[in-house]
Amino acid sequence: MKFQPVIGLEVHVQLLTDSKIFCGCSTRFGAEPNSQTCPVCLGLPGALPVLNRRVVEFAVKAGLATNCSISHRSVFARKNYFYPDLPKGYQISQFEEPICLKGWLDIQVNGTAKRIGITRIHMEEDAGKLVHGELPGLDDGSGVDLNRACTPLLEIVSEPDLRTADEAVAYLKQLHRIVTWLGICDGNMEEGSFRCDANVSVMPVGADKLGTRAEIKNVNSFRFVKQAIEHEIERQIDLIEDGGTVVQETRLFDPNTGRTRSMRGKEEAHDYRYFPDPDLVPLVIDDEWVRRAQDELPELPEQRQRRFISEYGVSEYDAEVLTATRSLAEYYEGCVALHGNGKAVSNWVMGELTRALNDSGLSIDQCPVTPRLLAELVKLIDSGTISGKIAKTVFDEMWRSGREPGAIVEEQGLVQVSDSGAIEAIIDGILAANQGQVEEYRGGKEKVFGFFVGQVMRASKGKANPALVNELLLNKLKG
């Protein structure tokens, strides 16, 4: 029997606010345990939560950017369960009336476009953090740090529209690009700012009833998402083929083995007894608010990607890479605004610049070569002042010193030699010194041509205009 996997994703996005969702404690990562707490996030009796306005603004942005409708009215609800990282005994979340409903995202897998539905987006508070056995004195207990408790999250729930692990990863990457682009999330998966639970089931091909699903938790990188889903699909198919049945349960992905394992003990917790939280008044977002948010929305990555293709003539792939982050897209467009050769600038940004950034571990925001300097460099190539090869040397010097490319070229005497007389003189010298190879070439062994080009370039210290060298060399050898 052939099986059809069905996948839905729940993504938790930690919002980039200064303070928590219902109190004024800082959301800064990595502080001393429990140093960023107050009666509200500690769940002390009598403390009242008050909603952080920016959380709502971010949620509306996320909703609009993923084609959701923004609910005129939404309500916070209590999700009741006991766990030591949840001081109140309930999590404030949204249940029946979430802030965003019914959106979608387009993804591309192997050149095929597919639209993935988004069921809902809701706001909620994060729980605290538990530490096990990593500290002296904790070998027979667990430590609770409530700094993260009450940190604002968006939960973005997809429809079960995904069919393969690759589609799931493409969807996640698209969503990641959007929330970081909007500046509402730092996207750091290792620190848990963007995390994903995957609901996976399989059904016989052609069946109309979905199979029983397992929920996989704890997948904190794109690579792990792919691994975890692929393993889970295989596990479920094997189980069914061996006559077993899939049970609805929570499974934990183990990055060390690449497998998922059952998380026993949590299955009975699925009776959350949601009810509206009387401490928080309903949230009403009028048309004016939505319109204002729509006006403030930046050009989104997909739109920009399409515009880069139509406006600057770059390839589909290049456009996607250049819009991987908003900073990179801004950088690229900053260069193109000063020197309109979109394709050449694209090659430099994706080539030398990306290589240098990777080698030095810097982000584009820390790049020592400004867009203006890179544009100047490409201008020098396009005007024939320096060759593309020499430009790499100049680039390295710019990277080190942050100086003007024109000044570097002048100071180091790197101006391209486009004087035919001078190049011809070099060529004559090379041909005279390598009579054997000249005979070979004239005897039909045209591969030797590359050898001559190399010799001429070396003799000119890389400064000879390569196109001119080719042309003149060909004439001389033919003649």
Based on the shown chain and the rule CB under 8 A, indicate whether residue 384 belongs to the binding site for another protein: no
Q: Shortest approach of another protein to residue 252 CB, angstroms?
A: 8
Q: Shortest approach of another protein to residue 148 CB, angstroms?
A: 13
Distances in whole angstroms, Cα of residue 295 to Cα of each of 106, 119, 138, 177, 285: 22, 24, 52, 20, 15
The string of DSSP codes covering 447-462 is THHHHHHHHHHHHTTT
Nearer to another protein, 134 or 190 (CB): 134
Based on the shown chain and the rule CB under 8 A, indicate whether residue 261 belongs to the binding site for another protein: no
Q: Cα-Cα-Cα-Cα dihedral of 317, 319, 320, 324, to 10°?
A: 140
Based on the shown chain and the rule CB under 8 A, indicate whether residue 140 belongs to the binding site for another protein: yes
Q: Shortest approach of another protein to residue 380 CB, angstroms?
A: 46
Q: Answer yes or no: are the C-beta atoms of 60 and 89 closer than 8 Å.
A: no
Based on the shown chain and the rule CB under 8 A, indicate whether residue 273 belongs to the binding site for another protein: yes
Q: Which stretch binds another protein (CB under 8 A): 22-30, 204-212, 382-390, 453-461?
A: 22-30
CA angle 248, 222, 81 (to 5 degrees): 40
Rg (CA), the chain: 30
Nearer to another protein, 185 or 357 (CB): 185
Give the contacts of 298 (CB within 8 A, at least 6 positions apart): 181, 182, 326
Based on the shown chain and the rule CB under 8 A, indicate whether residue 32 belongs to the binding site for another protein: yes
Based on the shown chain and the rule CB under 8 A, indicate whether residue 249 belongs to the binding site for another protein: no
Q: Shortest approach of another protein to residue 278 CB, angstroms?
A: 7
Based on the shown chain and the rule CB under 8 A, indicate whether residue 290 belongs to the binding site for another protein: no
The string of DSSP codes covering 204-226 is ETT-SSPPP-EEEEEE-SHHHHH
Based on the shown chain and the rule CB under 8 A, indicate whether residue 70 belongs to the binding site for another protein: no
CA angle 20, 26, 32 (to 5 degrees): 125
Based on the shown chain and the rule CB under 8 A, indicate whether residue 25 belongs to the binding site for another protein: yes
Based on the shown chain and the rule CB under 8 A, indicate whether residue 250 belongs to the binding site for another protein: no
Based on the shown chain and the rule CB under 8 A, indicate whether residue 82 belongs to the binding site for another protein: yes
Helix axes 287-296, 53-65, angle to 10 degrees: 70
Nearer to another protein, 280 or 457 (CB): 280
What is residue 329's three-state secondary structure? Answer: helix
Binding site for another protein (CB under 8 A): 17-19, 24-28, 32-39, 42, 50-56, 75, 80, 82-84, 130-132, 135-138, 140-146, 252, 265, 268, 271, 273, 276, 278, 280-284
